[in-house]
Amino acid sequence: MSKIFSRDSWDEIIQALSSNWFRTVMTAFGVLWGIFILVILLAAGNGLENGIKQGFNGMATNSMFMWSQTASQPYKGLPKGRRYNFKTDDVTAIKQNVPGLRFVSPRNQLGGFRGSNNVVRGLQTGAFDVYGDYPEIIQQQPMDITSGRFVNYSDIKEKRKVAIIGSGVRSALYEPNEEVIGTYIKINGVNFMVIGTYKKKGNNGDPEEMQKEIYVPFTAFSQAFNMGDVVGWMAITAADGYSITNLKSQVFDVIKTRHTINPNDDRAVGNFDLYQEFTKIQGLFTALNFVAYFVGILVLLSGIIGISNIMLIVVKERTKEIGIRRALGATPWSIRAQILLESIFLTIVSGMAGIALATAVLWLVNYQLSTMDTSEMMFINPSVNIGVVFIALTILIVSGLLAGLIPAQNAIKIKPVEALRTE
Amino acid sequence: MIEIKNLHKSYHMGKNSLHVLKGINFSVSEGEMVSIMGSSGSGKSTLLNILGILDEADEGSYTLDGTLIKNLNEKVAARYRNKFLGFIFQSFNLINYKTALDNVSMPLYYQGVKRNIRTEKAMHYLEKVGLADWAGHLPSELSGGQKQRVAIARALASDPKVLLADEPTGALDTKTSYEVMELIQGINDEGKTILIVTHEEDIAHMTKRIVNLKDGLIIDDSPVNQVRAKTESYV
């Protein structure tokens, strides 16, 4: 074994490989290309995954949104097509009857897509989405509070008419350097004091529209806009260790019982299961990763077959040389080791070059990306971790060994006499 | 040194079998210089291959320096070749991407000799064949005679018991042939046992004993008066 690390063996290998430079480089290119493709594919998948996940940026993915629709089946004397509304009592009932829920946030909304002007400040007016919310919502749909604070429970309890406005609202209603905290805005004719500003990140939906929202305490909203105990919709998040997808039917059951809806009526409660969507995306990336490995390894395989092929030719070409070496006292094992080492060396060196090249390309891409604002991009930080590089290296060593095996076996099958006879 | 008794060898090619050596009895003692002659197909190369442990006899015994050579595995055969034998070939058989010095140090490499000692020894043998100045040259940069001298240095490098030369002058012109033979004679003068396979009469007469092979049998084995290959007289 000590021979593997001696300078002599390496001299032999370098000499043998450098005796035909062009061919060595061409052969090495196959493996280089294979590992390059493998690394780039994995990194690209990673970049896409990073980009998409940025869209979920801190969002509680184990969540669903639930809203009321019309009953689609008659039940207990009530007709079908009947409208109903969630009530504030439903929230408490859900919290009590369904274990494993982290947040149940009732929400109400004013305005909406292309709504008319509903907010006034002095001479400025604007159309914005106004939400009545509980403090938990910031943990379900995160936003950065850039100044002031968000809604708290004192606001809820005392029904304070306070508002947190987005940067889009601020730029529409205020001068650029004006102080916002403490000023008043009039929402549908009711004055609210601005106590905070926010900025949202991510690429889910319209990034510009997301900054044009106003958050006020849920209770103040209900009172100011005459909602009574009506709840527009709910954002429900399951606790860690539970899946909202499994819990949601229990939530629906509570709602159906309380509103006298046929238990088999699947259309009465509308919902959007974020967790299910997230799982789907997660699955997509697992599949993408698999495809990257599959394609990468196949391309690598063709490179390895190339090496094996060339080594066969090399053995054939060096039949005479091997004969001479045998005559001079080379043991079969030393011949085999030489061929194997040549093959492994060639594979590893070209593989390393491939990894280095891929790293360089990724560095360039990352450098380009870093000069841009990536907060709204679908592709961020394409990279592979060190583990993948080690996997690739292991694949290389094993495949170098495999590539050399048949040629090495061929080499020791050559009888010295026959080898010397070839003129 | 070499003791051969009743040696038989046949080759099988498909259904045909060719009986090449039909019972050879032959011995060489230390310090002898023997030439083996014979027309092509007489079995002289086969005999040399068996003597060189490159091939094995079907029947009979072969003793080399007191060691019976029989049923060796490749590893032991390789060791014996390295220890006992030095080869000189008609086509020189140098490794063409290695310098003269590296070629000469090759048998020492397979003996596991350390690098610096190896280079020193190889250099010594290159000096002996008068090619010290060419140590760093590739075989392609050497003339035929020089190549054969490098090959001789290589054969000597492992300090073998016997030198086996297969038509050592076959690829050389007369003048160079005689130069090479002079070198070989000099080595023999120092006490090395040498076997030369040749079909050239004049070369054979430069040895001390001629063995004539015909159709796989020794038909004549007699000592001769050695002709010294003084190159000056041919210039």
Single out the residue in A229, A244, A260 at which a domain terminates.
A229
Residue A269 located in a structural domain:
no
Note the helical H segments in A115-233.
Answer: 137-140, 153-158, 167-173, 207-210, 218-224
Note whether A414 and A289 are same-domain residues. yes
Give the pTM. Answer: 0.69
Note whether A356 and A295 are same-domain residues. yes
CB contact under 8 A, B97 and A416: no
Note whether A122 and A185 are same-domain residues. yes
Q: Does B93 touch chain A (CB under 8 A)?
A: yes
Note whether A222 and A285 are same-domain residues. no
> Which of A324, A329, A417 is opposite residue B95, by nearest beta carbon?
A324
Residues 6+ apart with CB under 8 A from B67: B80, B84
**Is residue A422 scored above 70 in pLDDT?**
no
Note whether A286 and A181 are same-domain residues. no
Note whether A117 and A181 are same-domain residues. yes
pLDDT per residue over A343-383, tens digit each? 888 888 888 899 899 989 988 888 888 777 666 666 777 77
pLDDT of residue A26: 86
Note whether A291 and A399 are same-domain residues. yes
Mean pLDDT (chain A) is 86
Q: Does A416 touch chain B (CB under 8 A)?
A: yes
Single out the residue in A194, A229, A264 at which a domain terminates.
A229
Residue A234 located in a structural domain:
no
pLDDT per residue over A147-187, tens digit each? 999 999 999 999 999 999 998 899 889 988 889 999 999 99
Note whether A7 and A124 are same-domain residues. no
Determine the distance from the C-alpha atom of residue A389 to the mean position of all C-alpha atoms in its chain, rounded to a whole number: 20
The 3-state DSSP class for residue B122 equals helix
**Is residue A52 scored above 90 in pLDDT?**
no
Lookup result for tokens 């063996």? A9
Note whether A126 and A208 are same-domain residues. yes
**Is residue A240 scored above 60 in pLDDT?**
yes
pLDDT of residue B232: 54
Domains of chain B, each with CATH number or no CATH = 2-234 (3.40.50.300)
CB contact under 8 A, B78 and A423: no
Q: Using a CB-CB distance cutoff of 8 angstroms, which residues of chain B are in contact with residue A332?
A: 74-75, 78
pLDDT per residue over A259-291, tens digit each? 999 988 888 899 999 888 888 888 888 898 899
Are A310 and A403 spatial neighbours (Cβ–Cβ below 8 Å)? no
CB contact under 8 A, A329 and B98: no
Mean pLDDT of A112-116: 69
CB contact under 8 A, A420 and B75: no
Note whether A310 and A385 are same-domain residues. yes
Single out the residue in A193, A212, A229 at which a domain terminates.
A229
Neighbouring C-beta atoms of residue A386, cutoff 10 Å? 7
Lowest mean pLDDT among A76-90, A123-137, A371-385, B29-43: A371-385
Residue A96 located in a structural domain:
no
Residue A43 located in a structural domain:
yes
Lowest mean pLDDT among A36-40, A47-51, A80-84, A124-128: A47-51
Residues in chain B where the model's pLDDT stays below 70:
231-235
Question: pLDDT band at residue A132, thresholds of 50, 70 and 90?
Answer: very high
Note whether A225 and A307 are same-domain residues. no
How far is CA B115 from each of CA A7, A327, B109, B119, rounded to the nearest angstrom?
9, 21, 8, 6
Domain interval for residue A166: 109-229
Compare all CA atoms of chain A with the CA of B86 and give the residue at the minimum distance: A328
> Which of A320, A329, A330 is opposite residue B93, by nearest beta carbon?
A320
Q: Does B161 touch chain A (CB under 8 A)?
A: no
CB contact under 8 A, B106 and A15: no
**Is residue A305 scored above 90 in pLDDT?**
no
Residue A73 located in a structural domain:
no
Residue A143 located in a structural domain:
yes
- Assign 3-state DSSP to chain A and report helix, strand, coil percentages, each to 5: 55, 20, 25
pLDDT of residue B234: 46
Residue A327 located in a structural domain:
yes
pLDDT per residue over B60-95, tens digit each? 999 988 888 888 888 888 889 888 999 998 888 898
pLDDT of residue A288: 87
pLDDT of residue B235: 40
Residues 6+ apart with CB under 8 A from A381: A46, A47, A50, A366, A369, A374
Q: Position B26: which residue type?
A: F
Q: Does A8 touch chain B (CB under 8 A)?
A: yes
Question: pLDDT band at residue A219, thresholds of 50, 70 and 90?
Answer: very high
**Is residue A1 scored above 50 in pLDDT?**
no
Q: Does B91 touch chain A (CB under 8 A)?
A: yes
Note whether A177 and A296 are same-domain residues. no
**Total number of domains in chain A:** 2
CB contact under 8 A, A327 and B52: yes
Residue A68 located in a structural domain:
no
> Which of B75, B97, B110 is opposite residue A332, by nearest beta carbon?
B75
